[in-house]
């Protein structure tokens, strides 16, 4: 579907999307976040197990634009590595989004089955799934903006990874309209976003995928746990080295005090991300480039030698 999706972002469109909502049997609560509560449920007509995301909003404020955007995007998504939306219900100040039910997210999987990711083939399969979903988004002019292991679901039946949680996702405007600064979780946030740029695009997703790649291999986050943008930038500098104008010409516009900060030499990435084969280190280093223009694309990454012999959804 080249050229992007034609979104209709309006509360009226959402309310009319599903006038005859069916009843879902709620089995148990399985999660809760700032955007709402997620329940495990059952479709009484088909007996299919589903996930029901319940979002509450103030009646006078209307349905949040992030919710409308997520529904609009998921309504037209059709890819095996993107979670499938099955139904939408609205009533009073509640929106229920019904998804296919997938038992675990990638974060919980990594914590509960760490030995699985010691297999290079498992790591390659997971990363190939993630990049395939990201490529589909980028080809359709969508930037996810919040890629992380707890926003990636893993199907225990076939071990496929599926991208989820599109509340921060945006269509890339062909007129280069500015995007919101610093959205999503800071852990996998690209340097240009950390520095407050509003002109970031698909390379910010590639940076996040690189962070997820390293986390799968290492069993922990590559750049630590610190939460302030400048602390996170220091953590990145300690591993990738402090950037300069030659490698990132736009850097001083975003980071004018960089020349006054401590200069860190780059570390050997193979020594930091131990156990990853040379081709994987090469791919990871091409994802984690300071300059967004230098980062590998999802399409290029899927053709990288690291994936030779791997079959998956393209």
**Which residues participate in the annotated binding site for ATP?**
53
Question: Which of 177, 9, 169 lies closest to 82 in space, CA to CA?
Answer: 169
| Element containing residue 313 per DSSP (H, E) | none
Reduced to 3 states (helix: H, G, I; strand: E, B; else coil), residue 112 is: helix
CB burial readout 210-247, b (16+ within 10 A) else e: bbbbbbbbbeebbbeeeeebeebbbbbbbbbebbeeee
| Rounded Cα distance, 167 and 314, in Å | 24
Question: 87 catalytic, yes or no?
Answer: no
Token duo for residue 257: 């005090």
Catalytic residue among 105, 146, 165, 205: 146
| Rounded Cα distance, 135 and 143, in Å | 10
122 φ/ψ sector (left φ>0, alpha ψ -120 to 50, else beta): alpha
Residues noted as catalytic:
146
């Amino acid at each position: 579907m080249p050229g992007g999706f034609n979104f209709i972002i309006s509360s009226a469109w959402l309310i009319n999307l599903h006038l005859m909502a069916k009843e879902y049997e709620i089995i148990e609560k399985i999660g809760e976040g700032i955007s709402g509560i997620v329940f495990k449920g059952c479709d009484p007509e088909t007996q299919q197990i589903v996930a029901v995301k319940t979002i509450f909003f103030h009646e006078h404020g209307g349905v949040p634009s992030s919710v409308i955007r997520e529904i609009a995007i998921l309504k037209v998504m059709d890819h095996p590595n993107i979670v499938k939306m099955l139904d939408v219900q609205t009533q009073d100040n509640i929106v229920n989004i019904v998804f296919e039910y997938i038992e675990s997210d990638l974060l919980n999987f990594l914590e509960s089955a760490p030995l699985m990711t010691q297999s290079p083939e498992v790591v390659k399969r997971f990363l190939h799934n993630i990049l395939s979903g990201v490529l589909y988004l980028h080809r359709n002019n969508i930037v996810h903006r919040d890629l992380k292991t707890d926003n990636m679901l893993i199907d225990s039946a076939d071990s496929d990874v599926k991208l989820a949680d599109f509340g921060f996702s945006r269509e890339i405007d062909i007129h280069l309209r500015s995007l919101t600064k610093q959205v999503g979780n800071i852990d996998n946030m690209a340097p240009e976003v950390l520095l407050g740029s509003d002109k970031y695009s698909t390379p910010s997703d590639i940076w996040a995928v690189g962070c997820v790649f390293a986390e799968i291999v290492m069993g922990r986050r590559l750049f630590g746990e610190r939460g302030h943008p400048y602390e996170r930038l220091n953590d990145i500098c300690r591993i990738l080295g402090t950037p300069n104008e030659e490698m990132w010409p736009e850097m001083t516009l975003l980071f004018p005090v960089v020349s006054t900060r401590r200069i860190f030499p780059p570390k050997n990435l193979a020594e930091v991300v131990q156990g990853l084969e040379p081709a994987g280190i090469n791919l990871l280093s091409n994802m984690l480039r300071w300059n967004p223009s230098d980062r590998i694309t999802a399409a290029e990454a899927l053709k990288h030698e690291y994936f030779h012999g791997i079959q998956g959804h393209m």
